[in-house]
């Protein structure tokens, strides 16, 4: 038996308000995500627009707050004007980002109408690669203006009388990346000035909206955080968020590195917050710009050979290569290959949950979080069926219980060290010492007198006796306790059995003198709810 672990929560340890958008998702037409999962006119459940109603209904039941769309790398060469009006008149175009033909059958209106059917808020990404300021102005006018102008009346003509009232607009995607069409990787000042003028212009069209400027696409970027600082410095007064992305990678079999990846997210967030506040001080501004972490994920990747002399942070050369054998792909929505994350549901659920807890611990400044793969996590799919993966249950418990304010959750437990490693030249991780085996965050819904403590045990082998000290929450008692655990890490939920990996009620606990005690299983997800 491992040594005792202890978590202390107290109402005085407030971090910040938890935004309703913190646990959201991201959608981009990669592979069959749009043409197949979202849109398939031949599917038995297809509605009059060709959308799969089984997927819509499954997502609608989750109460998913928001989805960032329509990209991603895709959007940096997408001309939205090609995607409106009668489908028979729309252009089929090349999508250089993903080397695919894009039919525009799912166009600007369809994305927003799909979001309405799901009951989720669209967070819209604007083409700032090949797109112009005028394109962005026309887009917001078409989307949000009530009528009486060319673009708003064109929306009415095409069948949508009322404005869509999209409130959140991302001004570009990963504009520091050399892989991006119209990249600003070598000119953050120019990008910042373009954002300044674009954000100003579209806010003059609709002064209720919010905008985000792109920050770094990863903490490994050659210009991080100077690129972010230079871009934000030019447009601080007219934007509301800095948009950042990161995908954590761990070597095969290294579960400690996979689940410890949350620490690199926290380093990234802390650096970005410091940069933002430095720029605010330069501008003598009382305004607080926050963070939108609108693409994130964790994955297992094999170690690649390193190239001597390549340069640790130099990503550019990797993206200026051209393969004469490469061909464009035409995706058939009705020929949808099965796609699954490698490995079982449990590790995938834990790896994503560890990142979500990191975002929750920074709820004072991270106000939007969009999980890449979040739609599939909530409603897994193949050509014929929809089901609940293990990640579904974790995501749903965060949506249900992570309300109110985030609390600084003090953890005392056994620790481990993560040696540094390099997946390849551009994904090199410094080591971490003193990583907690017990990962935790908590949320206090003061209005409804409910406290929730979320716990992950990162240890592959050891069960921990755990004490949660609630003495500061006088009158609170256990209301529910859940544990998700399996001894077989290769198990996956399926349409036939979607509860193979799912939370079960935990009954073996004690509560006395403000201390909640129980044991947490190895590699488990745990949720403890207390109410007054």
- Domain CATH for 501: 2.60.40.1180
pLDDT of residue 201: 98
CATH code for the domain of 382:
3.20.20.80
CA 208 to each of CA 140, 145, 169, 195: distance values in angstroms, whole numbers, following the listed order: 12, 11, 11, 17
| Pair (482, 360) in one structural domain | no
The better pLDDT of the pair 350, 426 is held by 350
- For 298, the domain range is 19-403
Answer yes or no: do 339 and 321 share one domain: yes
Active-site annotation holder among 28, 110, 272, 295: 295
Specify whether 207 is catalytic. no
CB 176 within 8 A of CB 223: yes
Residue 60 pLDDT exceeds 60: yes
Same domain as 431, residue 320: no
- Check residue 181 and give its pLDDT: 94
What are the tens digits of pLDDT across the range 192-227? 999 999 999 999 999 999 999 999 999 989 899 999
Residue pair 244/267 in contact (Cβ under 8 Å)? The answer is: no
Q: What pLDDT is attached to residue 313?
A: 45
The per-residue pLDDT for 319 is 67
Q: Looking at residue 424, what is its pLDDT? A: 83
Instruction: Mark whether 150 and 180 lie in a shared domain.
Output: yes
What is the pLDDT, as a whole number, of residue 3?
87
Question: Which of 64-68, 151-155, 336-340, 472-476 shows the lowest per-residue confidence on average (mean pLDDT)?
Answer: 336-340
Residue 1 lies in a domain: no
**Any alpha helices (H) in 362-509, and if so which ranges?**
374-378, 390-401
Residue 12 in domain: no
Q: What is the pLDDT of residues 448-500, one digit of tens each?
A: 999 999 999 999 999 999 999 999 999 999 999 999 999 999 999 999 999 99
Are residues 354 and 501 part of one domain?
no
Do 276 and 149 share a domain, yes or no? yes
Same domain, 156 and 141: yes
Residues 6+ apart with CB under 8 A from 493: 345, 380, 387, 388, 389, 390, 392, 499, 500, 501, 502
Question: Same structural domain for residues 382 and 317?
Answer: yes
Among candidate residues 375, 403, 431, the one where a domain is terminated: 403
Give domain status of residue 345, yes or no: yes
In a domain, 7, yes or no: no
pLDDT for the residue 99: 94
Distances (CA, A) of 515 to 7, 466, 480, 511: 10, 10, 15, 6
- Residue ending a domain, among 371, 403, 435, is 403
Q: Is the pLDDT of residue 339 over 80?
A: no
Interior angle at CA 287, CA 284 and CA 290, nearest 5: 125
Which of 527, 523, 520 is CA-nearest to residue 1? 520
Question: What ranges in 209-365 are assigned the alpha helix state H?
Answer: 226-235, 255-259, 262-282, 345-361
Choosing from 364, 383, 403, the residue where a domain stops is 403
| Residue 416 and residue 352 in one domain | no
Q: 14 lies in a domain?
A: no
Identify whether 11 is part of a domain.
Answer: no
Considering the domain architecture, whether residues 293 and 394 belong to the same structural domain is answered as yes
Residues 324 and 238 in one domain: yes
Residue 463: partners with Cβ closer than 8 Å, 6 or more residues away:
1, 2, 457, 519, 520, 521, 522
Largest CA distance in the chain: 72
Query: What's the whole-number mean pLDDT along residues 95-111?
Result: 96
- Confidence (pTM): 0.96
Closest CA to 69 of 16, 30, 122, 116: 122
Q: Is 266 a residue of the active site? A: no
pLDDT(324) > 60: yes
Q: Is the pLDDT of residue 126 over 50?
A: yes
Strand (E) or helix (H) holding 53: helix 53-62
Of the two residues 311 and 393, the one the predictor is more confident about is 393
Q: pLDDT for 40-53, tens place per residue?
A: 999 999 999 999 99
Kindly state the percentage of the chain with pLDDT values over 70: 96
In a domain, 248, yes or no: yes
Q: How far apart are CA 424 and CA 518, in angstroms?
A: 41
Give domain status of residue 50, yes or no: yes
pLDDT at 506: 94
If one counts the domains in the chain, the total is 2
Selected catalytic residue, list 174, 272, 498, 506: 174
Quick one: 389 and 436 in the same domain? no
pLDDT per residue over 262-321, tens digit each? 999 999 999 999 999 999 999 999 999 999 999 999 999 998 887 665 454 456 566 677
């Amino acid at each position: 038996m491992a040594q005792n672990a202890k978590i202390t929560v107290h109402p005085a340890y407030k971090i910040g308000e938890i935004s309703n958008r913190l646990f959201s998702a991201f959608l981009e037409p990669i592979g069959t995500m749009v043409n197949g999962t979202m849109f398939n006119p031949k599917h038995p459940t297809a509605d009059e627009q060709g959308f799969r109603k089984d997927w819509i209904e499954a997502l609608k039941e989750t109460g998913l707050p928001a989805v960032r769309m329509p990209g991603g790398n895709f959007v940096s060469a997408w001309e939205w004007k090609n995607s409106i009006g009668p489908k028979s008149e729309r252009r089929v175009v090349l999508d250089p980002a993903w080397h695919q033909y894009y039919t525009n059958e799912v166009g600007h209106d369809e994305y927003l109408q799909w979001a309405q059917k799901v009951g989720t808020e669209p967070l819209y990404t604007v083409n700032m690669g090949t797109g112009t300021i005028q394109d962005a102005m026309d887009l917001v006018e078409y989307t949000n203006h009530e009528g009486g102008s060319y673009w708003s009346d064109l929306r009415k003509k095409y069948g949508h009388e009322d404005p869509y009232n999209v409130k959140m607009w991302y001004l570009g995607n990963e504009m520091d990346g050399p892989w991006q069409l119209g990249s600003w990787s070598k000119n953050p000042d120019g990008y910042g000035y373009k954002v300044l003028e674009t954000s100003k212009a579209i806010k003059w069209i609709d002064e209720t909206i919010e905008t985000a400027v792109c920050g770094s696409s990863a903490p490994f970027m050659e210009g991080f955080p100077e690129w972010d600082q230079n871009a934000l410095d030019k447009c601080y007064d007219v934007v509301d968020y800095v948009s950042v992305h990161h995908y954590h990678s761990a070597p095969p079999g290294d579960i400690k590195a996979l689940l410890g990846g949350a620490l690199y997210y926290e380093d990234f967030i802390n650096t970005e917050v410091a940069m933002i506040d430095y720029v605010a001080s330069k501008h003598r501004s009382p305004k607080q710009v926050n963070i939108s972490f609108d693409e994130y994920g964790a994955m297992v990747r094999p170690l690649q050979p390193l190239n001597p002399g390549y340069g640790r942070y130099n990503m550019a050369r990797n993206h200026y290569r051209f393969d004469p054998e490469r061909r464009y792909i035409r995706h058939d929505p009705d020929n949808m290959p099965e796609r699954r994350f490698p490995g079982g549901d449990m590790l995938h659920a834990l790896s994503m949950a560890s990142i979500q807890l990191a975002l929750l611990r920074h709820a004072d400044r991270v106000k939007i979080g969009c999980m890449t793969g979040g739609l599939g996590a909530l409603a897994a799919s193949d050509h014929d069926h929809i089901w609940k993966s293990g990640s579904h249950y974790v995501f749903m418990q965060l949506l249900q219980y992570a309300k109110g304010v985030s609390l600084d959750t003090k953890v005392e437990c056994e620790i481990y060290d993560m040696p540094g490693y390099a997946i390849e030249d551009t994904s090199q991780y410094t080591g971490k010492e003193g990583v907690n085996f017990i990962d935790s965050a908590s949320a206090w819904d003061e209005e409804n007198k409910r406290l929730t403590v979320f716990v992950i045990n990162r240890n592959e082998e050891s069960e921990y006796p755990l004490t949660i000290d609630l003495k500061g929450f006088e009158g609170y008692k256990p209301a529910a306790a859940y544990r998700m655990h399996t001894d077989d890490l290769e198990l996956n939920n399926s349409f036939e059995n979607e509860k193979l990996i799912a939370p079960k009620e935990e009954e073996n606990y004690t509560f006395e003198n403000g201390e909640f005690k129980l044991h947490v299983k190895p590699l488990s997800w745990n949720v403890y709810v207390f109410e007054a």
